[in-house]
Structure 1
């Protein structure tokens, strides 16, 4: 919160149930009370996002993969009979 003004991010933080915050805090061995001090923009979150993605094997979506569902699954606007 900046000088008494709530940002959209402040509102989103309150949407997380306390038990979720406590569970994640326990997993990363940080007090749940520290959650409000996390840097949600800039280098810190980019660094953490990269580390988590690398750890769990996430990769950046390619154009081919992004187009595939629309062409092969959704049949968007091609008049296919779904029955």
Structure 2
């Protein structure tokens, strides 16, 4: 079984220096998309209470579409399995 991984990163404009990394991993007939939000400032973190939510192309929420930083952390992420 072969695994293929693709990664893209973008810096976002927000009140903090944020980056969004999107990683696609394929195994057999399954594709996993991982959306990671991180602080681009060296040594900085995502503050507690910060939310990451994904929506469909029609701007609709879906099951398990978000993550919330309950404390200060290095990154927030959501994985979507297709």
TM tier, smaller: under 0.3
Q: TM-score w.r.t. structure 2 length?
A: 0.22
Higher relative contact order (CA 8 A, sep 6+): 2
